[in-house]
Structure 1
Amino acid sequence: MKNLFGQSKLPAIILTLGTVLVLWFIPVPEGLNLQAWRLFAIFMGTVVGFMLQPVELGTVAFVAMVFAALTGALSFPQVLSAFSGSTVWLIVSAFILARAFIITGLGRRIAYITMRAFGDSSLKLVYSLALSDLIIGPAIPSNSARAGGLVFPIVQSLAEAFDSYPGKSARKIGAYLVVCVFHLDLVVSAMFLTAMVGNPIAVGIAKKVLDVDITWIGWFVAAVVPGTVALLAIPYVLYKVYPPEIKETPEAKVIAAKALTDMGPMSRSEKYLLFVFVFLLALWATASITKIEVTLIAFMGLAILLLTRVLSWNDVISEKRAWDTLVWVGSVITMSDYLNKTGFIPWFSRLLENQMVGVGMLTAVVLSFVIYLYSHYFFASMSAHVTAMYAALITLGAAAGAPAFISVFVVAIASNICGCLTHFGTGPAPVYFGAGYVDQKTWWKIGFGVSLMHIVIWLGVGGVWWKILGYW
């Protein structure tokens, strides 16, 4: 398999193993015990392995957990606990639910319905595609599946319908559609706990490191205002600075209407899925009242889909990404948990506190957001980035006295929108960039400009909104 070193795996293997060995034989820092330091060495080796990918993510994580058990960094029961946490099973459930949207065609139908209703100009067309992404976002935790699998084929078909192809005609409308839809999907990922695989990971780490509980509805309420502003502002600003040549698009409504006609009336499976989707949203939104676990709610939805035959058991066991995620995400969350329990995270937090003397909490929060955001230039996976840096950076704000919720949430938001920077930083990026409508220099320039908008919107508008909510 290819990795950051091209065809050769050897440099990646050497760096991954070398990271573990170098840290393993460094004398244990004062204030730490041997178990905590060795677990940290294994954890850092796992992070490097995730970044360089000498083998698959699941293989890296599995080998790391076996090594941790053999060396006593973790006991075997502690290793097995990696696969029993509610956070990782929520992610598994969400992947399987996403499969239902793809199999039934409900995701495509929602996109075409919104396009038929609002798509009579290039700007409105982007808003309609963003709305469809927003509607299905809570049910699909993979922005690759959502933006790449469901929405991208529609974007490409629309561009070609207006005779906009890579090359001279790209700026007719194709380039504008590509950059807007790509960037807006990252905003949707940031607005829902279940819209990106890294979000539940962040929530799990936040609970274990700073004892902060973030519910599904709590995440949405905190994100809805700055997220909505971002969804409205980004297409408008890009419309001004990177405008499409075609401004009016009445043909889009015709295309959508024809596609819906070809799809025919809603199937039985689509109706059942729509019911289950609304049912899940209602229960997730009221979980703090009903006291039903968020993961149990997801299980209830999957049970209904299985009983109504919207999904077969073969569909469940065929969703490879879900079971791959179970292994590597479960391993990461467990290692983070025991880094805290063995004393490494408290020790590291004290080091940060000593460094943060005299630094205001607002400065610390902004720094944690900005550092996380721009460090993504060095990552090709948002999930790997969460694994590598989230635990450390949420302690930055907390060490300076910022409220714990703000400390963890701003970095969680950064872990979604950081994918805007490059053409390789998140799953959909190579898909949209690879369409050929935008050259690399322009892609990076737009990405940096959008990142500045995110800073203003999430820390400015978001900061005011969180003050109103009483989080400051």
Structure 2
Amino acid sequence: MEKTISAVSQGSFSKRYGLILGLIIMFAMIALPTPVGLPIAGQRMLAILVFSVIIWMTEAVSYPVSAAIIMTLMAFLLGISPDAAKPETVLGTAKALTLALGGFSNTALALVGGALFLAAAMTHTGLDKRIALVVLSKVGARTNRVLIGVILVGFTLSFFVPSTTARVSCLVPIVMGIISAFGVEKKSRFAALMMIATAQADSIWNVGIKTAAAQNMIALGFIEKMLGKTITWMDWFIAAAPYAIIMSVALYYVLLKLMPPEVDEIAGGKEAVAKAMRDLGPMRSSEKKLLGISLVLLFFWATENIVHPFDTSSTTIAAISLLLMPGIGVMTWKEAQAKIPWGTLILFGVGISLGSAILSTKAAAWLAKIIVTTFGLQTLPALTILAVMAAFLVIIHLGFASATALAAAMIPIIISILQSVQTPGINVIGMTMVLQYVVSFGMILPVNAPQNMIAYGTETFEAKDFIKTGIPLTIIGYVVIMVLGATYWKWLGIM
């Protein structure tokens, strides 16, 4: 697996020289004359943004290391710049570092942190594996029904495991076990079909459920900061679930059409799943506790501002506190911390800081004005603006290996662009939420998302297989976005 991933992500020219290229372009931008209407601090933040995009796209350094570099650049380059609010004074490194660390005080970060602990608890207790096997045990041994089962597992786990990487990491060994138990070749179309479905179904349900992915929290954090609006779990679900349901059906038919399995039914399929269930043994008390706490938490998420006033982040932190408490909990801090991808949390916080600094230095507003004027977006219909910006996000995602990084770089600019548009009645909040759905696409290349790379590392399919199915899925996804934008979302009032 490591060898496969290495062949894709390492050794390329861009990876080796991405850091140098990013630094050269950044300092070249800083050396240019400051444009009219753009503060010096804003010019330097745009330079840092371009540097960030380059090292994220080339994966020149790991994401946690990139976060440290970005914080350092912000501290010093902004520290020696005039304060955007008081141009007669220099901002200073202390205030600049405060800006660089600002994302770590965001409530969205608390939700992502809590979600990572919840995912760790699922892995520690094995409840995620049990849920996956229960679903698969109900669908039978026909290959098309096993495919339905894999998609249903992705859907089900999205409610309980708020980490795409954790969900796919749980399901991949189960699917590999089924492939092995069925006696099917590792390089068969059936194996490829199931593994691609594992990754793509989770990408699809990242859109459908607010708490399913970190990039959603990035967007919601900026919506709250810039637009003063909180989108509840249920508001998001009502808007996004139809898209995810349609795309799940599309995934089923696209995969069966483009990668038809060699046989219609696998001998011994049900027995293989039943054996895996037996190997798990009876449900342990830790699993029962976690299931109970998760269901209560899901209830609080779904009923925010309906039956109670508590926000998603606060209820999640409360649930994690229970999971770690002696007697009540299911794991100790020592057990939990080893399973937490701390680098993801660091990248998340710095991503919010980066976007916030682009806003506070007035760089986002200046850039948005340039884009709106250049492309003539001022008075275009909302649906046309959606079409243009969604297409842009689909294309730029081809260069990103993280939707979290893409959201951190693009969402503040998207909001500023939408605020600059003069089209009467345009819903900036709703449009931003819909464009965040597109940020989660990542369905064309294996390197476009960590979950894709986990599935790709099983060596059950080639990159060309993923691309062959990913391109039509992306086209269908884009069309569904446009159709819902013209109908359902318009009826809901978010377009």
Q: Which TM-score applies when normalising by structure 2?
A: 0.87
Q: 1:16/1:5 Cα in 2 relative to 1: closer, same or farther (>3 Å)?
A: farther
Question: Which string of whole-angstrom CA distances, capped at 9 and with x for unpartnered residues, describes residues 92-145 of structure 1?
Answer: 111111011111110110111111112342222122222222222133333222
Following TM superposition, by how much is the alpha carbon of 1:250 offset from its aligned partner in structure 2, in angstroms?
6.5
Following TM superposition, by how much is the alpha carbon of 1:258 offset from its aligned partner in structure 2, in angstroms?
1.8
Question: Which string of whole-angstrom CA distances, capped at 9 and with x for unpartnered residues, describes residues 254-292 of structure 1?
Answer: 222221122111101000000111111111112223221
Query: Does residue 208 of the first structure (1) align with residue 225 of the second (2)?
Result: yes
Question: Which string of whole-angstrom CA distances, capped at 9 and with x for unpartnered residues, describes residues 296-339 of structure 1?
Answer: 11111111111123020113332441x32332211121221132
The corresponding residue for 1:51 is 57
Cα distance in 1, alignment partners of residues 143 and 256 from structure 2: 9
Residues 138 and 193, structure 1, Cα contact 8 Å, conserved in 2 = no
- AA aligned opposite 1:131: L
1:309 to 317, 322, 329: 329
Following TM superposition, by how much is the alpha carbon of 1:210 offset from its aligned partner in structure 2, in angstroms?
4.5
1:296 to 311, 314, 325: 314
Cα distance in 2, alignment partners of residues 423 and 200 from structure 1: 23
**5+ unaligned residues in a row in structure 2: which ranges?**
82-94
The within-5 A match list for 1:325-404 is 325-354=344-373, 355-357=376-378, 359-396=380-417, 399=421, 401=423, 402-404=426-428
Query: Does residue 156 of the first structure (1) align with residue 173 of the second (2)?
Result: no
Cα distance in 2, alignment partners of residues 23 and 8 from structure 1: 20
Following TM superposition, by how much is the alpha carbon of 1:465 offset from its aligned partner in structure 2, in angstroms?
2.1
Residues 144 and 427, structure 1, Cα contact 8 Å, conserved in 2 = yes
The within-5 A match list for 1:258-277 is 258-277=275-294
The within-5 A match list for 1:428-467 is 428-461=451-484, 463-467=486-490
Residues 359 and 412, structure 2, Cα contact 8 Å, conserved in 1 = no
Cα distance in 2, alignment partners of residues 120 and 157 from structure 1: 14
Residues 189 and 416, structure 1, Cα contact 8 Å, conserved in 2 = yes
Cα distance in 1, alignment partners of residues 485 and 135 from structure 2: 27
**What percent of counterpart residues are identical?**
26
Q: 1:58/1:436 Cα in 2 relative to 1: closer, same or farther (>3 Å)?
A: closer
Cα distance in 2, alignment partners of residues 432 and 66 from structure 1: 35
Residues 351 and 405, structure 2, Cα contact 8 Å, conserved in 1 = no
Residues 324 and 333, structure 2, Cα contact 8 Å, conserved in 1 = yes
Cα distance in 2, alignment partners of residues 386 and 274 from structure 1: 31
The corresponding residue for 2:303 is 286
Following TM superposition, by how much is the alpha carbon of 1:4 offset from its aligned partner in structure 2, in angstroms?
5.4
The corresponding residue for 2:84 is none
Cα distance in 1, alignment partners of residues 250 and 104 from structure 2: 41
Following TM superposition, by how much is the alpha carbon of 1:463 offset from its aligned partner in structure 2, in angstroms?
4.3
Mean CA deviation greater in 277-286 or 437-446: 437-446
Residues 368 and 394, structure 1, Cα contact 8 Å, conserved in 2 = no
- AA aligned opposite 1:139: F
2:167 to 136, 146, 154: 146
2:235 to 212, 218, 229: 218
Following TM superposition, by how much is the alpha carbon of 1:154 offset from its aligned partner in structure 2, in angstroms?
1.5
**5+ unaligned residues in a row in structure 1: which ranges?**
none
Alignment length (residue pairs): 466
Residues 142 and 266, structure 2, Cα contact 8 Å, conserved in 1 = yes
Q: 1:77/1:405 Cα in 2 relative to 1: closer, same or farther (>3 Å)?
A: closer
Query: Does residue 25 of the first structure (1) align with residue 31 of the second (2)?
Result: yes
The corresponding residue for 2:85 is none
Q: Which TM-score applies when normalising by structure 1?
A: 0.91
Query: Does residue 36 of the first structure (1) align with residue 34 of the second (2)?
Result: no
- AA aligned opposite 1:450: L
Instruction: Determine helix, strand or coil for the equivalent of 2:305.
Output: helix
Instruction: Determine helix, strand or coil for the equivalent of 2:291.
Output: helix
- AA aligned opposite 2:444: L
Query: Does residue 82 of the first structure (1) align with residue 106 of the second (2)?
Result: no
Q: 1:6/1:219 Cα in 2 relative to 1: closer, same or farther (>3 Å)?
A: same
Cα root mean square deviation, aligned: 2.4
Residues 258 and 469, structure 2, Cα contact 8 Å, conserved in 1 = no
Query: Does residue 415 of the first structure (1) align with residue 442 of the second (2)?
Result: no
